[in-house]
Structure 1
Amino acid sequence: MEIFTKKQPLKVTLSKLKAQNKTIGFVPTMGALHKGHLSLIKKASQKNDIVVTSIFVNPTQFDKKEDLINYPKTLENDINLLKNINCDILFNPTVDEIYTDAIISEKFDFDGLEHQMEGKFREGHFNGVGTIVKMLFKIIEPDKAYFGEKDFQQLQIIKKLVKKQHLNVKIKGRPIFREDDGLAMSSRNVRLTSEHREASPFIYKTLKKAQKKFRKENASNVIKWVENQFKKQTLLELEYFTIADEKTLKAIENKESSKKYRAFIAVFAGKIRLIDNISLKIS
């Protein structure tokens, strides 16, 4: 595996590979890699000639400085994991290499997707996401890029970014990778206390029950039921639970058979914020 910390040498290498008609699959990450990340890289490897993974903790997408400072950093272990699954190229730039001038976000219009759910609770977050993803796409120029559905809102926003910015890359979403007890894999999980880690599978269990209830009940009843379940769970604090249209991400009022729906949740386990989602069917 080749490791690059500078944009220009990476671009030269990738240009040579593209001249040989090699296809490039790209998996952007912030490091602290887990099996969910590795599943994306494996899929990229199956569908492309060359796999590029980036590790970059992007400062402009953190709304809280404390969260940025405490984000887990395990570069040595990450490199070993990438070598073991035959990742071809790692791009691990510094903040100065990416943000050559001021560390600020570009402003984006994602047709309202950015104002739903996470956008309501994390000011400027999706401008930061859009900024770094656009930068990385322009550096790497991949044929395909792979993202997990745990961050489903982010996935939809990146698809919108590609469309509106006319970027020549296909976005591939992949299913959520879970622990054996159902907890969605996240780099933040390592920061959970043992007590909160033991309690956190309750999130997915509740989502699964909500999924069943949605087949027979309206969205409002399901939302109230979930909120009541979390009032009984003293170790977990519900920030939001929303049932939304997958395409617009807007909260629904009435179910329509022609649309796809998804339930979204954000929960605090102590100081650690966990998100998850699940697809819903009317019948």
Structure 2
Amino acid sequence: MEPDPTASAHAVAVVGPGRAGTTLASALAAAGHRVVGPLGREDALGDLDVDLVLLCVPDAVISSVARSLPRRDGRLVGHVSGATPLTALGDHEALSLHPLTTIPREGADLTGVTAAVAGSTPRALEVATRLAGDVGMSPVSVAEEDRAAYHAAACVASNFLVTLEGAAEALAATAGLSRERLVPLVRATVESWAERGPERALTGPIARGDEQTVAGHRAAVAERLPEHLGLFDALAAATRTLAGRPAPDPTPATDAPSRPPMRTVTTVAELRAGLAAARRAGRSIGLVPTMGALHEGHLTLVRTAAEQCEEVVVSLFVNPTQFDDAGDLAAYPRDEARDAELAAAAGASWLFAPSADVVYPPGFATRVSVSGVSEPLEGEHRGALHFDGVALVVTKLFSMVGADVAFFGQKDAQQVAVVRRVATDLDLPTRIETVPTVREPDGLAMSSRNVRLAPEDRVRALALRHGLDAVRDALLDGAGTERAVATGRSVMRDVGVEPEYLAVVDPSTFTPRDALSDHPVLVAVAARVGPVRLIDNELVGPVTGTAGRPTGVDPDADVADLVSDHTGPTGATPAPRTTGE
């Protein structure tokens, strides 16, 4: 006889012995349900004789655990994630039940907490709704198409609030105030918002139109915590909108003429003719080489170039010579019209979008090959021709543009090392600026390839970030490279991602390093997540903190400024942030 999951009492297997799993298991048992667990992922889950298997596991492994469960008629499989769609549960009859709260400890009281519920069938939704009510929560149905917006709202209300209070705490500390001094204010503000809503709860200088005080605040932030100035400006703009106050009139810049509209050119002759006047006038020229599909990482590069140079050339060329996989080349995203609009808004003067025949005309027979730094890691896994293609196209772009400075992203650290080698060995006059990686809010390095990730693979892709974190933490705790890398591989394999490589190397030569010493190391990773190949890296340095423990490298430092034995031209001023592909 099939189990009846709509009966008043259910047999529920809870998988995941963390705070969420332990808390829900206890609450369900107290409500009269027969509970098995909480079980670990390593337990035998295939033979569970229950009505419902409830997965209280990290988002990144929901799909893999669900796949390990045989499908049985009448049995439901659910998860407690707010962000993960029901499709992650495969072909099971599925439900989700997400407590809209933080669970700070095992056995936390869930009474009165909102629970977002969903089901792949009316029966599954009914069970999710009933279970939420049984443990004292207040269920609300959230449609699959609304899930991302729902979870984003939860993150703004919870995670981002912590970020804001962290910034406030850091600023208060510069004036000698501890966190405890701010707590009553924060509590009173949240309570006022809860009772009165945002418009009526808003107080302070922006609400009363006191822009002179706001300007003083901004100056203090700029002086004491400049890294939070962008956050301050964004919050001030949003607060003016909430208060219905106009933005203050900006002071006109009399010494900084606006840039003319961006021009798009497709041939070398057009580009050189267009830049000739600027070159004769002694105007500085910056180059941002891209393969298109621009994202915030590229745009940060363009904005950085616009801050440092009077003419900015953005090249848009999907270079066929650096792809070892014809399918990868064919699938690479292309949208020139969109890229042109974004590049112009970011401050580009020129968009150079040549065809393959312009870059490699008929009869082209020249190669540029760099030995040593190009051979390990990416060179080993993508083939020797990959970096030959990079070296060749960069040499051609440097010659075509004649740039004073070229801007590259730290995400492509080995590529930058190859480019530095080329610039040094061939006496190219272009200076190289390397700037740190731009990341998504959850830590995933921005890449043009990310748009090809399926929703479940997008979650699994965080394995690269988590693997880097694990290696970094192990190194900083004194582990040798072998043990640190083994720890990182284990973390990645736990979510079903097998790294192509995970290595600790010298950031200049890319030779292996055994451990942290007197110089920083680079932790580099590459992996395929679904059909998409991703890379990432992080610098880890020997800087000693107040407790005598090594700490990570300053994330705003230029790679070239961190290694004493680097070669090639480098920039004198580290730029803000960016990425590569």
- TM-score, structure 1 normalization: 0.96
Correspondence 1:217 to 2:474: no
Deviates most, 94-103 or 143-152: 94-103
Correspondence 1:77 to 2:346: no
Structure 2 counterpart of 1:281: 541
What are the within-5 Å matches in structure 2 for residues 143-182 of structure 1? 143-182=404-443
Contact 2:284 2:404 in 1 (8 A): yes
Structure 2 distance, partners of 1:86, 1:214, is 40
Structure 1 distance, partners of 2:486, 2:430, is 40
Contact 1:211 1:281 in 2 (8 A): no
Structure 1 distance, partners of 2:459, 2:366, is 37
The code of the aligned residue for 2:530 comes to: G
Say which structure is richer in strand.
Answer: 1
Structure 1 distance, partners of 2:276, 2:461, is 45
- Matched residue SS, 1:155: helix
Cα drift, residue 225 of structure 1: 1.1
Structure 2 counterpart of 1:261: 521
Cα drift, residue 29 of structure 1: 0.2
The code of the aligned residue for 2:521 comes to: Y
Cα drift, residue 231 of structure 1: 2.4
Structure 2 counterpart of 1:206: 467
Q: 1:248 aligns with which of 509, 518, 531?
A: 509
- Matched residue SS, 1:113: coil
Structure 2 counterpart of 1:139: 400
Q: 2:491 aligns with which of 204, 225, 229?
A: 229
Structure 2 counterpart of 1:14: 275
Change in Cα spacing, 1:246 to 1:189, as seen in structure 2 (3 Å) is same
Structure 1 distance, partners of 2:342, 2:457, is 27
Contact 1:147 1:173 in 2 (8 A): yes
Deviates most, 164-173 or 76-85: 76-85
- Matched residue SS, 2:403: coil
What are the within-5 Å matches in structure 2 for residues 86-97 of structure 1? 86-97=347-358
What are the within-5 Å matches in structure 2 for residues 45-64 of structure 1? 45-64=306-325
Structure 1 distance, partners of 2:306, 2:299, is 10
Structure 1 distance, partners of 2:368, 2:310, is 34
Deviating above 2 A after TM superposition, structure 1's stretches of 4 or more consecutive aligned residues are: 101-105, 253-256
Change in Cα spacing, 1:35 to 1:71, as seen in structure 2 (3 Å) is same
Deviations 1:111-131 (A, max 9, x none): x00111100011110000000
- Matched residue SS, 1:119: helix
Cα drift, residue 102 of structure 1: 4.5
Structure 1 counterpart of 2:297: 36
Structure 2 distance, partners of 1:73, 1:103, is 25
Cα drift, residue 229 of structure 1: 1.9
Deviates most, 130-139 or 97-106: 97-106
Deviations 1:230-259 (A, max 9, x none): 22222x2211100001121111134432x2
Cα drift, residue 107 of structure 1: 3.6
Deviates most, 39-48 or 75-84: 75-84
Structure 2 distance, partners of 1:157, 1:266, is 18
- Structure 1 unaligned residues grouped into runs of 5+: none
Question: How much identity, in percent, do the aligned residues show?
Answer: 33
Report how many aligned residue pairs link the two structures. 280
Structure 1 distance, partners of 2:498, 2:466, is 15
- Matched residue SS, 2:502: strand
Contact 1:24 1:50 in 2 (8 A): yes
- Matched residue SS, 2:413: helix
Cα drift, residue 101 of structure 1: 2.2
Change in Cα spacing, 1:273 to 1:142, as seen in structure 2 (3 Å) is same
